Amino acid sequence: QLNMAKKKEAFLKEFREGPLLFKPTYKFDLYSDVYDTSEKKRKPAWTDRILWKVKNISEVASKEGEFLEEENPVSVSLTNYLSHMTYGISDHKPVTGTFKLEMKPLVSDPLVTLNAEGEWSAEHDVLIRYSTVHEFPSSAWDWIGLFQMNFRHVKDYVTYAWVEDDEVASNRDSKQVYMSASEIPKMGGEFLLCYYSNNMQSIVGISEPFQV
């Protein structure tokens, strides 16, 4: 039914689906792996499906009067598509999909440039120097975090400094903020500095790796 609808409905043609390599997920007797034994004895079917699409940036731009020849900045690929037969609280079995998402940078130059000043250790307060592009929308709630090299989420910071509250120097080209020695990890290692923009709700600048 879905495949037939995809041939007829234009908006469905844009959606993709992985191969159905799992058994039909409907209809089961509750708390069992037995297909429907009621009077209706419904035919097993793949009613639980995951489809996806990536919005084409060139199509969006053309509707707004712009014409872009750039390829999509986002690509999605399916890595896992399976059912979970151990669940029995419903007459459906749940289905999950795992996706790999790749995003290309939308800007060629970082909005914020960061540098760890001098030698970093837990024996003394340390300094960070940063500069922003002219039109950058800074906020009093922006902060700079110290991250281990393998961090995976913005909340994985070891410590952080507020860009306004912890500022110690400023000029037309750059600003300095400090981090307290008590917050610097004593075990040392390789780290990064990341600037988090509250207005943009994302990291907008990452330093080169450095040693603590």
pLDDT at 185: 93
Is 34 in a helix, a strand, or coil? coil
Domains along the chain?
A: 1-61+69-103 (no CATH), 112-211 (2.60.40.2840)
Look at 49-63, 71-85, 109-123 and tell me which has the smallest mean pLDDT.
Answer: 49-63
Task: Name the percent of the chain lying above pLDDT 70.
Answer: 91
Long-range CB pairs of 8-14, under 8 A, 24+ apart, other chains included: 12/51, 14/53
Whether the pLDDT of residue 63 is over 70: the answer is no
pLDDT at 45: 95
Q: Parallel, antiparallel, or unpaired: how do β-strands 202-206 and 190-197 relate? A: antiparallel
Q: For residue 98, which amino acid is it?
A: T
Average pLDDT over residues 113-126: 95
- Distances in Å between the Cα of 100 and the Cα atoms of 2, 31, 70, 79, 155 are 24, 33, 21, 7, 21
Does 75 or 127 have the greater pLDDT score?
127
Which has more pLDDT, 101 or 190? 190
The fraction of the chain above a pLDDT of 90, given in percent, is 77
| Alpha carbon of residue 169 to chain centroid | 33
The secondary structure element, H or E, covering residue 86 is: none
- The pLDDT value recorded for residue 150 is 92
Q: What are phi and psi of 6, to 5 degrees?
A: -65, -30
Q: Can you tell me the distance from the alpha carbon of 198 to that of 185, in angstroms, rounded to the nearest whole number?
A: 25
| pLDDT exceeds 80 at position 70 | no
